[in-house]
């Protein structure tokens, strides 16, 4: 199945795929009076969906910041963006899902599954709150409504969209030593260790640290806060002061601006091309040895791609108010999500160098846990919306921890049970799909 956005593994464009169900034209977004929830088609794309929700009702979904992501697959994996620290992830607002499933006799049927406690199909709803795309059937509709809100006003049934105050600071690679780089990353990670508890005022801050390859010239920290937050500017300044404390770095640029909700900068995606990306979640800061590994690879000249980076995005806050088993999305104690990418490249002849760089970087950062982020005091596994088949490859995962534990933790067994109940023939499958129990 393909909802019309993009996938970071070769699940739909592979030569092994013989049939594609393309859902991109099922893209309508409206308020469904009968369910008192917002109806979103699986082919809806992030930017136009947010546009419709905001212009119609002043609300939003805390989903991807990439404008071209298709919500059909994105919601299934959990769905997060900058504002998830304040509002949770997309599936925290999922009320119901309509799915075409295939029974043991090969007959398809349509099921509507809701989060209502007495719904006999509630297990299917649960599986769609972080179970990942392409596993259980063909999603033909989502309904979204924040739980616990009782109102006849649609403008109160999802989080309100607000304008942001944003500050961006960049530091030149020419002015960075390994010690100063280590201090910046360590300070940044430790700030979110201290300031991600649900209810803390600092969870109103969102942030992303771009540890870009030396070929980009700079690394940078961008952070923001909604413009209605009292003392928000001071919260931002405290973050930047704490991150730079003791680093002895010279600022290359320091800019502040107001970011309206529908500004194009709020919804971005890079140029199209070839990619191979990896992720991990952090419960605590990387060790200095891990940061030294990142520093070494960002200075490695085996590739020269300004888009190559290790990016650390803030999590925690509202996301972590929900039990890990209440939804299929298990990452309810992470404070940061780390995104490893060699950037985008254009030609197949460049594949080997870019793929090798990111594979070796990831392996070496997690060298003490078998080349993958095995959950422990520091690591919290990986995020299925950035699928990575290497986690199922013993050449790159030398730990005793299977790929599904990295993505789903203890929730995998229940996902298998749902798979067996609703897709017993394993009709819907790919390289990282859930196997029937």
What pLDDT score was predicted for residue 295? 98
Q: Among residues 226, 223, 228, which one has the least CA distance to residue 241?
A: 223
Query: How many alpha carbons fall within 13 Å on the CB side of residue 17?
Result: 16
* Least reliable range by pLDDT among 61-75, 311-325, 404-418: 61-75
Backbone angles phi, psi at 326, to 5 degrees: -70, -25
The tens digit of pLDDT for each residue in 332-355 reads 999 999 999 999 999 999 999 999
137/239 Cα distance (integer angstroms) = 44
Taking only the tens place, the pLDDT of each residue in 169-193 is: 999 999 999 999 999 999 999 999 9
How confident is the model over 14-34, as a mean pLDDT?
A: 91
Q: Structure pTM?
A: 0.95
Give strand pairing partners of 313: 208, 337
How do residues 103-158 score in pLDDT, each as one tens digit?
999 999 999 999 999 999 999 999 999 999 999 999 999 999 999 998 999 999 99
Alpha helices in 219-321 (DSSP H): 232-244, 288-298
**Domains by residue range for the chain, with CATH:** 29-158 (3.30.465.10), 164-260+270-407 (3.40.462.20)
pLDDT for 10 equals: 83
């Amino acid at each position: 199945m393909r909802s019309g956005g993009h996938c970071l593994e070769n699940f739909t464009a592979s030569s092994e795929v013989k049939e594609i169900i393309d859902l991109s034209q099922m893209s309508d977004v409206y308020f469904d009076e009968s369910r008192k929830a917002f109806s979103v088609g699986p082919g809806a794309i992030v930017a136009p969906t947010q546009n419709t929700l905001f212009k119609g009702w002043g609300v939003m979904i805390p989903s991807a910041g990439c404008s071209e992501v298709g919500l059909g697959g994105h919601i299934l994996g959990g769905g997060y963006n900058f504002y998830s620290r304040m509002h949770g992830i997309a599936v925290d607002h999922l009320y119901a899902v309509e799915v075409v499933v295939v029974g043991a006799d090969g007959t398809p049927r349509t099921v509507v599954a809701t989060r209502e406690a007495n719904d006999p199909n509630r297990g299917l709803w649960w599986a769609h709150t972080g179970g990942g795309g392409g596993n259980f059937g063909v999603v033909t509709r989502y309904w979204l409504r924040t739980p616990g809100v009782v109102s006849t006003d649609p403008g109160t049934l999802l989080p309100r969209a607000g304008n942001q105050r944003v500050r961006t600071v960049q530091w030149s690679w020419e002015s960075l030593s390994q010690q100063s780089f280590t201090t910046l990353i360590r300070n940044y990670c430790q700030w979110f260790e201290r300031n991600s508890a649900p209810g803390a005022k600092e969870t109103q801050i969102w942030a992303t640290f771009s540890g870009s390859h030396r070929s980009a010239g700079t690394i940078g920290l961008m952070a923001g806060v909604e413009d209605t937050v009292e003392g928000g500017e001071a919260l931002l300044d405290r973050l930047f002061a704490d991150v730079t404390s003791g680093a002895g770095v010279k600022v290359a640029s320091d800019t502040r601006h107001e970011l309206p909700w529908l500004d194009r900068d709020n919804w971005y995606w890079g140029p199209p091309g070839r990619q191979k990306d990896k992720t991990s979640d952090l419960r605590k800061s990387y060790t200095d040895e891990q940061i030294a590994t990142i520093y070494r690879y960002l200075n490695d000249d085996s590739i020269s791609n300004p888009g190559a980076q290790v990016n650390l995005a803030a999590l925690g806050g509202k996301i972590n108010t929900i039990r890990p088993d209440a939804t299929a999305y298990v990452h309810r104690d992470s404070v940061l999500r780390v995104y490893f990418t060699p950037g985008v490249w254009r030609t197949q002849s460049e594949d080997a160098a870019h793929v090798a760089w990111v594979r070796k970087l990831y392996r070496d950062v997690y060298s003490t846990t078998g080349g993958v982020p095995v959950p422990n005091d520091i690591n919290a596994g990986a995020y299925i919306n950035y699928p990575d088949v290497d986690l199922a490859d013993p050449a790159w995962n030398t730990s005793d921890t299977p790929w599904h534990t990295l993505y789903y933790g203890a929730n995998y067994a229940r996902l298998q049970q749902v798979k067996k109940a609703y897709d017993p023939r394993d009709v819907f499958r790919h390289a990282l799909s859930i196997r029937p129990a």
